[in-house]
Amino acid sequence: MRSTHISSFLALVSLSTAVPTSWTTKDPLPLVIWHGLGDNYLADGIQEVGELAEQVNPGTFVYNVRLANDAGSDRSATFFGNVTTQLAQVCNDLATHPILSTAPAINALGFSQGGQFLRGYIERCNSPPVRSLVTFGSQHNGIVKFQDCGASDWLCKGAMALLQTNAWSSFVQSRLVPAQYYREVNETTGLASDSYLEFSNFLADINNERELKNETYKKNLASLEKFVMFVFEDDTTVIPKETGWFAEVNATSGKVTPLKHRPIYKQDWLGLKKLDHKGALVFKTIPGPHMQLDDKVLKQAFKKYFSPATKKAIFQEVLGDWEL
């Protein structure tokens, strides 16, 4: 008797919240995927990842982030552009998307640089809000070296040649994407260099490394249910690979300072400590070189982090709404 009572109460509550949007807690949340440098939103690999997500959680609506509708221009935007402007465009695209904008939340999957850009989305916009963020081989603590390009990849070569000129000039910072997450360390203090703090157009801001901290960034990031960071064990493209876990690496000695021993965590500039204390910060490794994705690892991640809420979680959510 009592249990029917509860279930009709549950039905009523979920009905009233579901009416305008038709989303229920049993529906998988939409998945937003942001691809990496040199890739594009229509590429086979990215499409296959979306299909895999749909296979693991049937009914998942998948949206691949794009900065242009044609594949060539979208690829070009992974090398060239002002990341502030690009991110604002993506924020607008997601907030006005006919399906995403009606969802109570979305999940986010970032490959390589797409990972720190999705984190930027969460910190700056988060509308619709992200429930869980999973990143593979991302550069959360920046890079100390620019990557090598394929022999005939002239777009990549052109970008990298410009980067070698002066990474901190406003010309480069406003036009070349990887320069905006390039990060230098002061060899004496072991902390971020003065040039980086002054001129970095993206990373120094999004990591709240400047004196004036943005509390919204911290609040938004700390609201994640899970923040999962995968590092490729044999990654030689991203230098250092430990940046995927927000670690600092001494370029001379190779000594790794893990996130938990760094001010960004200890003084909690970004809400990472808060996430860690609620068990929401996950550090993972995946075998192989940069972006050699294994279907099994992806499937496990989708099942674990992107599945619809469990019955228990739904119940708690409903009771929480009623502030019992």
Ligand X SMILES: *[C@@H]1O[C@H](CO)[C@@H](O)[C@H](O)[C@H]1NC(C)=O
Q: Which residues are catalytic?
A: 112, 235, 290
Q: Select the residue interacting with ligand X from 119, 124, 183, 241 (CB under 6 A).
A: 124
Taking CB under 6 A as the rule, does residue 24 contact ligand X? no
The neighbour count for residue 60, using CB atoms within 10 Å, is: 22
For the chain, the C-alpha Rg in angstroms (whole number) is 20
Given a contact cutoff of 8 angstroms between Cβ atoms, the answer to whether 137 and 235 are in contact is yes
Taking CB under 6 A as the rule, does residue 211 contact ligand X? no
Coil, helix or strand at residue 91:
helix
Given a contact cutoff of 8 angstroms between Cβ atoms, the answer to whether 162 and 228 are in contact is no
Nearest to 224 by CA among 293, 123, 112, 146: 123
Helix axes 215-222, 113-124, angle to 10 degrees: 110
Residues 36-75 contacting ligand X, CB under 6 A: none
Taking CB under 6 A as the rule, does residue 307 contact ligand X? no
Question: How distant, in Å, are the alpha carbons of 148, 225, 231 from that of 189?
Answer: 29, 34, 27
User: Cα(319)–Cα(2) distance, rounded to whole angstroms?
Assistant: 16
Residues 93-122 contacting ligand X, CB under 6 A: none
Q: Which is nearer to ligand X, 16 or 250 (CB)?
A: 250
Q: Select the residue interacting with ligand X from 7, 8, 21, 85 (CB under 6 A).
A: 85
Residues 216-275 contacting ligand X, CB under 6 A: 216, 250, 252-253
Residues 135-194 contacting ligand X, CB under 6 A: 170, 173-174, 186-190, 193-194
Q: Which is nearer to ligand X, 23 or 80 (CB)?
A: 80
- Closest separation between CB of residue 93 and ligand X, Å? 16
Please report, as ranges, the residues that interact with ligand X according to CB under 6 A.
Answer: 82, 84-85, 124, 170, 173-174, 186-190, 193-194, 201, 214, 216, 250, 252-253
